[in-house]
Amino acid sequence: MKECKNCSSIFRILGFLFFFALMYIPSDAQFLLNSDSAFKAEAPNSGRLWGYAFGDYYYKSHADTSNRGGANQYTGIPKNRNEFQFRRIYLGYDYNISRKFAVELLLAAEDNVVQGNNAPSGDLLSDGKLTFYIKLANIRWKNIWKGTDLVVGQLATPTFSLLSDKIWAYRSIERTIADIRRTPSFDLGAALQGSFDSKGNYGYNVMVGNGTGAKPEGDNFKWFYADVFAKFLDKRLIFDLYADYERITWVNGFHHARNMVKGYMAYTTPVFTAGVEAFLNNGRDDVAGLNGAVKDTLNAMAAGISAYVHGEIVKSRLGYFARFDSYNPDTKYDRVKYTKYTGFTSNYEPNNREQFITAGLDFTPVKNVHFMPNVWYNKYISNTAVPNSSYDLVYRMTFYFVFGK
């Protein structure tokens, strides 16, 4: 590509044109362009720019001897490594075309590097630098029938993004337990999102998508999502039931598929929240049991449970959070018949169980600005006949800020 000698001049001219165009927007249109209250009131031709970012200064005190954990945050990072890093940067724009139609656009830069082999993936350039990609881009048809919206495009799935992730409220510290296993948080497809009552206490979300997030479809199969929820005691007590299904490979002799069933319960108030989330993920023809020349294709059942609390110590200034996860990639693991397994789904490496703990404080000097000293600990316990347990331990100062919301 040839160097553009006049690019700086061109961009300067475009900047001036944009500035003067803003000056000549009618005053009522400027109000709609810049008013968050107008957007919330669903005024036509109103929008808002928003975003957030979080990252850390971390110090890794102990490293797992076998570099287990796949795409976990600190897999493969050596002991005593310390670093400043961003883990997510969001830049979004929401726009009301009319009271019936709204558009959502979200750019995201997220550090999804596979640490074990230092191979950049997803949001990293070949030199390891963060870059934005289109995470959400969709149009919402509100009340296509009473109480139900139709959403088409790249949108948040009902797996955890719409409910449990918001109540956990500390994505800046760690993903939910289903998110750690990379169950899609967003997908390209279509969804119906609705409620059975006018107060939104009972509702549902159903969706069909490619199952590939922001990437193009790679097969002829779709991912089906379904979710129902109920809220009681003035929306303090929440129950949620989720299920999904996807065929992965479907040929003679090899019917590889997966489906997850997940339950969630939480009690939440402005000063205290407690939640429990658990899943079973059935992988059909998902692993191979190995023992010398023996290689048997087997079904697998992954199970995980996560429990957490968070709350206030000093109102609007100082809070706390703590969480414990237990995860088994295959409850059917047979260490007597097989020496080890190999998995066909990378997000469910079958040979190691995990126990995760995090805890910390949340200092909020002003609204939407957080500084959070915390501990990140993940223990690995082998499923194989040869015992091997070790852990990753990281101390962090996490920062998190929100703007435009």
DSSP letter (8 states) at residue 6: T
Q: In the chain, which residues have pLDDT < 70?
A: 1-35, 112-123
In this structure, how many other beta carbons lie within 10 angstroms of the beta carbon of residue 78?
9
Tens-digit pLDDT profile for residues 78-114: 999 999 999 999 999 999 999 999 999 999 999 764 4
pLDDT at res. 346: 80
Which residues, 6+ apart, have CB-to-CB distance to 173 below 8 Å? 321, 323, 358, 360, 372, 374, 376, 398
pLDDT at res. 169: 97
pLDDT at res. 40: 80
For the chain, the distance separating the N- and C-terminal CA atoms, rounded to the nearest angstrom, is 40
Distance CA 259, CA 211 (A): 12
The token duo for 225 is 């999502």
The structural domains of the chain, with segments of one domain joined by +, span 47-403
Distance CA 374, CA 14 (A): 45
How confident is the prediction for the chain on average, in pLDDT? 89
CATH of domain 47-403: 2.40.160.10
